[in-house]
Amino acid sequence: MDDTKTALITGGSAGFGRAVALALAERGWQVIVTGRHDAALARVAAQASGITACQGDVTDAAHREQLHTEIATRGRLDLLLNNASTLGPSPMPALARYPEAELTNVFATNVIAPLALISALLEPVSRAAGAIVNVSSDAAVEAYEGWGGYGAAKAALDHATAVLAVEQPQLSVYAFDPGDMRTAMHQAAFPGEDISDRPEPETVVPALLRLLDTRPGSGRYRAADLLTEAVSP
């Protein structure tokens, strides 16, 4: 089996997913990026050798099967980064007035799809003694007005991540909270506001790389804490 490390990054066409894909490709990894927008994925793949674009929606079972087939041809999966998320309506509604169809979609994208993808790819991740990283949010642990739908979904994903870690002790299973970033989704959370003070996604990537390099015990980790540890004497 080829020793080249392989990663699958969902939501890899922009923002944090794109930044991680480019960083891993620079390290010599083979990276598969998936997302709904073909042109944006193609632009990411064109930026570095070793990046393969696989267009599709992770809530679609047929697309998850396509990803399984792609990974099977490579024989291993060292990192599954469940980064794809949806915020829900913008402006974000109060939880008591949240449209049911929108809430269903938020949970389908942020909870059901990552768990289904983990189920489909557990064998190649286990074979590589790899890592599963589910991107979380501080909204999973803090009560912010308007963030009820997204936050509840991320809280559910956090708990599922913790259970998976207990059930799969041979793997490194992480919930990773990147903190605020200057992304399109964060802008949608604050329509019409200037979010230029938020850090670029590239500044958060070193925290994830530290997590992958040091492989602490499975659990929930904040990027801010990992970056502080990296500069501590």
| pLDDT at position 179 | 85
Q: Is 127 within the bounds of a domain?
A: yes
Task: Establish whether 174 is a catalytic residue.
Answer: no
Instruction: Provide the domain count of the chain.
Output: 1
Q: Is 27 within the bounds of a domain?
A: yes
Sign of the four-CA dihedral 218, 20, 189, 92: negative
| pLDDT at position 198 | 78
Q: Which residues contact 213 (CB under 8 A, 6 or more apart)?
A: none
Q: Tell me whether residue 82 is exposed, middle or buried, using C-beta atoms within 10 angstroms of its C-beta: 0 to 12, 13 to 18, 19 or more.
A: buried
- Taking Cα atoms as reference points, which of 171, 166, 159, 185 lies closest to residue 83? 185
Catalytic entry in 98, 150, 174, 221? 150
Query: What pTM does this model have?
Result: 0.93
Q: Is 1 within the bounds of a domain?
A: no
| pLDDT at position 20 | 98
CA 72 to centroid of chain Cα atoms: 21
| pLDDT at position 233 | 53
| pLDDT at position 232 | 53
Q: pLDDT truncated to tens, each residue of the chain (233 aa)?
A: 468 999 999 999 999 999 999 999 999 999 999 999 999 999 999 999 999 999 999 999 999 999 999 999 998 999 999 999 999 999 999 999 999 999 999 999 999 999 999 999 999 999 999 999 999 999 999 999 998 999 999 999 999 999 999 999 999 999 999 988 777 776 766 778 777 877 788 999 999 999 999 999 999 999 999 998 865 55
| pLDDT at position 40 | 94
| pLDDT at position 13 | 92
Q: Is 195 within the bounds of a domain?
A: yes
CATH number for 46: 3.40.50.720
> Range of 175's domain?
6-231
